[in-house]
Amino acid sequence: MSARGRWVVLVLLILAPLGLWLAGTDRPAPLALVSSSPVGPAEVRLTFSADADPALSHIAVATADGRQLEAGPVTAGPGHVLSVPVQSVGAGAYTVAYHVIGTRGEQVSGVIRSGGGDAAAADEDALAALPGHEHEHGIDPLSGILLAINLLVVLTVAALLLRPRRLTAVRLRVPGWLPGVSQPS
């Protein structure tokens, strides 16, 4: 087998397991909020359709006039529940903004308004106010373009390198030696 053939086989041997692994990776079922309720005056509890990761999830509670209530760490409980202790929800209207990451990578975000219905489609202002909510959402166009350019460069260079090369040059190490001049015997 030629050197180029060996390179192609090597690349295929490396890429095949990776492709199989990616093909076998499931797209997780969407995570959804099932129910929400303040438990007593000092805790908000959200129930989801699957287990969520409390370390990666954020929940913030605000009063109707937009004042953020101090909230403790998010904790997970049995039955796909996430709960967060808050300063005091009280009896008045409140808003809960959440961005929750499932244990299988799925995610859901939304805003719940007590007495005012569910604005789960996303209230960007309330979501942006989530403490520790640093990571980005959606597809970043520049990153997509860069990855596509990288892939294009790799494929182009690989194709050019696999193309048979014309051997036209002779390495010259001798002072005064000119290209095209026959080699001395």
Partner 1 sequence: MSLNRTGHRVALNVFLVVTLAHWAEHLVQAYQIWVLGWARPQARGVLGQFYPWLVKSEWMHYGYAAVMLAGLFLLRPAFTGRARTWWTVALAIQFWHHIEHFLLLWQAQTGHNFFGKPVPTSLLQVLYPRVELHLFYNSIVFIPMIIGMYLHLRPNRRELEDAPCDCVAVESRPAVAVA
Residues near partner 1 (CB under 8 A) are: 18, 21-22, 25-28, 53, 56, 101-102, 104-107, 132, 134-136, 139-140, 142-144, 146-147, 149-151, 153-154, 157, 160-161, 165, 167-177, 179, 183-184
Which are the contacts of 105, defined by CB distance < 8 A and separation ≥ 6?
Answer: 28
DSSP-derived secondary structure letter, 12: H
Cβ distance to partner 1 smaller for residue 117 or 175: 175
Residue 99 DSSP SS3: strand
- Minimum CB separation from partner 1 for residue 113, in Å? 24
The span from the first CA to the last CA of the chain, in angstroms, equals 34
- Minimum CB separation from partner 1 for residue 48, in Å? 13
- Minimum CB separation from partner 1 for residue 179, in Å? 6
Cβ distance to partner 1 smaller for residue 121 or 139: 139
Cβ distance to partner 1 smaller for residue 42 or 122: 122
Cβ distance to partner 1 smaller for residue 52 or 89: 52
- Minimum CB separation from partner 1 for residue 88, in Å? 25
DSSP-derived secondary structure letter, 182: P
Q: In what order do the strands lie in the sheet with 33-38?
A: 33-38, 43-48, 81-85, 75-77
Q: What is the DSSP string of 35-65?
A: EEEE-TTSEEEEEESS-B-TTT-EEEEEETT
